[in-house]
Amino acid sequence: MKLHEYQAKEVLASYGVPVPEGRVTHFPYDAWMVSMELGLPVVLKAQVLTGGRGKAGGVKLAKTSDEARDIAQELFGKKLVTKQTGPQGVIVRKLLVEKAADIDRELYFSIVVDRTTSKPTVIASKRGGMSIEEVAEQYPEDIIKIPIDPAVGFLPYQIRRLKYDLELTAQEKEAAKIFSALYQAFSEKDCSLLELNPLVVLKSGHLLAVDAKMDIDENALYRRRDISRMRDLTESDPDELEARFSGLNFIKLPGNIGCMVNGAGLAMTTMDVIKLAGGEPANFLDVGGEATPETIAKGFEIITRDPKVKAIFINIFGGIVRCDKVANGIIQALKTVEVKIPVVIRLTGMNKEEGMEILKKAPMQFYIAEDLREAAKMVSDLSNNKNNETEKKPAEKAKAGKKEK
Amino acid sequence: MAVCVYRTSRVVVQGITGKEGRYHALACRDYGTKVVAGVTPGKGGMDVEGIPVYNTMEEAVQNNHPNVSLIFVPPPFAADAILEAVGSGIKTIVCITEGIPVLDMVKVKRVIEKENVTLIGPNCPGIITPGATKIGIMPGHIFKRGSVGIISRSGTLLYETADQITKAGLGQSTCVGIGGDPIIGTDYIYWLERFEQDPETEAVMMVGEIGGNAEEKAAEYVKNHMKKPVFAFIAGRTAPPGRRMGHAGAIIMGKSGTAEYKYEVLRASGVHTIENPGYIGETIYKTLKEEYSL
């Protein structure tokens, strides 16, 4: 779960990490007020859960309160398109207004769990303010990596080393305190990423976390109630949210073939195989270990809500969940949700024969496929409105969901 | 032979009185696995259809001498369950549990490395040596004893791959699901090394996915150490960057970790890459026949 910048700063401030004075605003007039309160100049920062917002025009400096209001006016409701958002972008709903800092130099500091070493790792550089990927490419020698043994934590000698490498000898005590506070926050809040870019040295010589990014491990939210309450539901796709509340894992994609699969790996593979057959997946959907009539119905409901979807591909490999149960689930679900587009089903694994039997006797029509290849071709052709003879039931055009008989 | 688990493996199931634990403990036993004990704190003295249940791993080990543990404990307690198994002297642990916090696994990983324990998973389907023993949640009937070893990050994709290999007329020596989390107990290299040594295994199939660099590291290993043919498929070629595709580990960050990049590295290391998942079984069969006359 990603936190907003202002939320991350709140958390960090509670650990004693210095952050700029600022307030979150929701209206242009607020921005005007806050700028008066804080003193000028101020920085207005769009609070959106995506990287690259600076380049997309989401961060601006205002020298007067009127200017702050005008910038806020322009930013509220604006669609920010960044590399990470895709063309649909994200809407700006909140602005963080902060007192502008008098910056001497910018540093980079982050902590992540390194998958290769399985250790939390501090990454730092005296070249802050630019993306760390760029630094890695242009100045690899300026990147410091310090692996931390979780049994003993971030050790004094490691902090000392960081201090010398970042040329912070003048801020010795302050830096040491901030670095160990950052590691403490990282481990106590179950972060998967904690990033300050930049962490700045002010003209006054003090340190200040001008930007902060915090990603929290979803699996640990059960023990971080204070953090999970910070989730901003307005920043998630409503369909994806609804799916999550029903125990489904759904991600929207631009294509026109709806997918319903059990297992994340198989769900990804299903998308791949559709693409290879000339189709375009409209979503990633993992129905999980228990494909009940309710979860399947919810899946149909969310998939068919997208008017672009021309066909649905259900791909189930029965393991924990048995095929006969899934088949019954599909039929039950189609009695409650009306589906007017063709449904291709590939059902295999545990109790496959029983499942197939149930589908054949069903009061609605399906396209049944034997294997992945056949299914992908079938559904891709259906989505492209090709009426060639790959279909098992060419005479009956797509009647799935009709409640006749 | 086969790898890591055998007909003689003695299994203790941690979390045996839960719905899943019970179901799968019995399903494993039905398959032929020696399920000798179960552990659920507070349920000691019970039995699950004849399998004795203990409060602690220590008791289970003393009384029934298991040498493999299979874990179904819920995520908040799973890391502790793994460490309890380690503490009781078990050297092979299979953890099915999905959703263990990463920082818990960071600690577990330190301990298992120090104690020289083989941890399969977490967030995995387990391990099976067809016809001998099944320690996990996979549907046993799709597997057939044979010569291909399978290593997979995903569960259902492991089934899909094994099924295709069986249908192509081949079989499997041992199949292992190593897990879909960012931190897992064993990586591809661990298993490649064992499959290379196993006389029964003639070829290895790696089922990978986007995210991380485990496949890239495996490619390096294949290039330098493997004589047996290795095949690979990578799921998630169509996945958008920055989105976590179900598995916590399956997320593309930057350039590395994409399916394209992984395929490129694998190919350059002499791995037979299979880019269409509909042709896994067929490709392995044909390649082994035509290029290796196996």
What is the ipTM for the molecules in this complex?
A: 0.90
Are the C-beta atoms of A366 and A396 separated by less than 8 Å?
no
Q: Looking at the partner chain, which of B102, B214, B239 has a beta carbon nearest the beta carbon of A113?
A: B102
Beta bridge mates, A347: A316
**3 state DSSP class of B224:** helix
Token code pair at residue B14: 């941690």
> Which CATH topology does A102-235 take?
D-amino Acid Aminotransferase; Chain A, domain 1 (3.30.470)
Task: For A145-205, give the DSSP string.
Answer: EEE--TTT-S-HHHHHHHHHHTT-GGGHHHHHHHHHHHHHHHHHTTEEEEEEEEEEEETTS
Structural domain boundaries of chain A?
20-100, 102-235, 238-383
What pLDDT sits at residue B253?
Answer: 67
Are the C-beta atoms of B175 and B149 separated by less than 8 Å?
yes
**3 state DSSP class of A30:** helix
Residue A88's Cβ-count burial label (10 Å; 0-12, 13-18, 19+) is exposed
Contacts of B252 (CB under 8 A, 6+ apart): B210, B211, B236, B239, B240, B241, B242, B243, B258
Q: Looking at the partner chain, which of A268, A274, A373 has a beta carbon nearest the beta carbon of B245?
A: A268
Whether B65 is a known active-site residue: answer no
- Work out the minimum CA distance from B63 to partner chain A, whole angstroms: 31
E strand map for A262-394: 283-286, 311-318, 343-349, 367-369
Q: What is the pLDDT of residues B50-88, one digit of tens each?
A: 999 999 999 999 999 999 999 999 999 999 999 999 999
**3 state DSSP class of B278:** helix
Are the C-beta atoms of B280 and B164 separated by less than 8 Å?
yes
Report the distance separating Cα A149 and Cα B152, nearest Å.
29
Are the C-beta atoms of A207 and A47 separated by less than 8 Å?
no
- Work out the minimum CA distance from B22 to partner chain A, whole angstroms: 13
Cα atoms in the 13 Å half-sphere on the side-chain side of A277: 28
Q: What is the pLDDT of residues A168-199, one digit of tens each?
A: 999 999 999 999 999 999 999 999 999 999 99
| CATH number 3.40.50.261 given to B138-292 | yes
- R_g of chain A computed on alpha carbons: 26
Whether A195 is a known active-site residue: answer yes
What pLDDT sits at residue A87?
Answer: 77
Do A84 and B242 count as a contact with CB atoms less than 8 A apart?
Answer: yes
Report the distance separating Cα B124 and Cα B164, nearest Å.
20
Residue B186 gets the label, from left (phi > 0), alpha (psi -120 to 50) or beta, of beta
pLDDT (mean) for A279-303: 89
Alpha helices (H) in A94-155, listed in sequence order? 132-138
E strand map for chain B: 10-14, 34-39, 47-48, 51-54, 68-71, 92-95, 118-120, 126-129, 133-136, 145-152, 172-177, 203-209, 230-235, 272-273
- Kindly report the length of chain B: 294
CB atoms within 10 A of CB B59: 16
Residue B17's alpha-carbon distances to A44, B28, B40, B42, B47, in angstroms, are 56, 15, 7, 10, 9
Enumerate the residues of chain B whose CB falls inside 8 A of the CB of residue A264: 154, 180, 245-247, 250
- How many A-B residue pairs are in contact by the CB < 8 A criterion? 164
Do A350 and B141 count as a contact with CB atoms less than 8 A apart?
Answer: yes
- Selecting among A6, A108, A183, A367, the annotated active-site residue is A108
Q: Which of A49, A82, A115 to mutate to test the interface with B (most CBs of B within 10 A)?
A: A115
Report the distance separating Cα A260 and Cα A286, nearest Å.
6
Residues of chain B with pLDDT under 70: 1, 253-255
Q: ∠ CA B21-B26-B31 to the nearest 5 degrees?
A: 125
Token code pair at residue B148: 């291909």
Task: For B97-126, give the DSSP string.
Answer: -----HHHHHHHHHHHHHHT-EEE-SSS-E
| CATH number 3.40.630.40 given to A238-383 | no
The region of weakest confidence among A76-90, A330-344, B168-182 is: A76-90
pLDDT (mean) for A49-59: 89
Are the C-beta atoms of B75 and B44 separated by less than 8 Å?
no
What pLDDT sits at residue A236?
Answer: 81
- The percentage of chain B sitting over the pLDDT mark of 70, rounded to a whole number, equals 98
Enumerate the residues of chain A whose CB falls inside 8 A of the CB of residue B241: 84
Report the distance separating Cα B233 and Cα B272, nearest Å.
9
- Domain pair A20-100 / A238-383, same fold: no
Do A268 and B99 count as a contact with CB atoms less than 8 A apart?
Answer: no
What pLDDT sits at residue B255?
Answer: 66
- From the list A238, A282, A57, the residue with the least C-alpha distance to B238 is A282
At A316, is the pLDDT very low, low, confident or very high (cuts 50, 70, 90)? very high
Do B250 and A275 count as a contact with CB atoms less than 8 A apart?
Answer: no
Do B103 and A217 count as a contact with CB atoms less than 8 A apart?
Answer: yes
Do A264 and B245 count as a contact with CB atoms less than 8 A apart?
Answer: yes
What pLDDT sits at residue A394?
Answer: 40
Enumerate the residues of chain B whose CB falls inside 8 A of the CB of residue A274: 238
Report the distance separating Cα A160 and Cα A124, nearest Å.
13
- Kindly report the length of chain A: 405
- Work out the minimum CA distance from B245 to partner chain A, whole angstroms: 7
Looking at the predicted structure, is the pLDDT value of residue A291 above 90? no
In the chain, the amino acid numbered A259 is: C
Out of 3.30.565.10, 3.30.70.890, 3.30.1490.20, 3.40.30.10, the CATH code matching A20-100 is 3.30.1490.20
Kind and range of the H or E run holding A105: strand A103-114
Q: What is the pLDDT of residues A99-128, one digit of tens each?
A: 999 999 999 999 999 988 999 999 999 999
Report the distance separating Cα A209 and Cα B134, nearest Å.
53
At A386, is the pLDDT very low, low, confident or very high (cuts 50, 70, 90)? low
Q: Looking at the partner chain, which of B101, B159, B235 has a beta carbon nearest the beta carbon of A268?
A: B235
Q: What is the pLDDT of residues A355-382, one digit of tens each?
A: 999 999 998 889 999 899 999 999 999 9
Structural domain boundaries of chain B?
10-120, 138-292
Token code pair at residue A379: 């559904």
Do B138 and A251 count as a contact with CB atoms less than 8 A apart?
Answer: no
Looking at the structure, give the CATH architecture of the domain made up of residues B10-120: 3-Layer(aba) Sandwich (3.40)
- From the list A205, A283, A220, the residue with the least C-alpha distance to A249 is A283
B189 φ, ψ (degrees, to nearest 5)? -60, -45
In the chain, the amino acid numbered A118 is: S
In the chain, the amino acid numbered B170 is: L
What pLDDT sits at residue B254?
Answer: 64
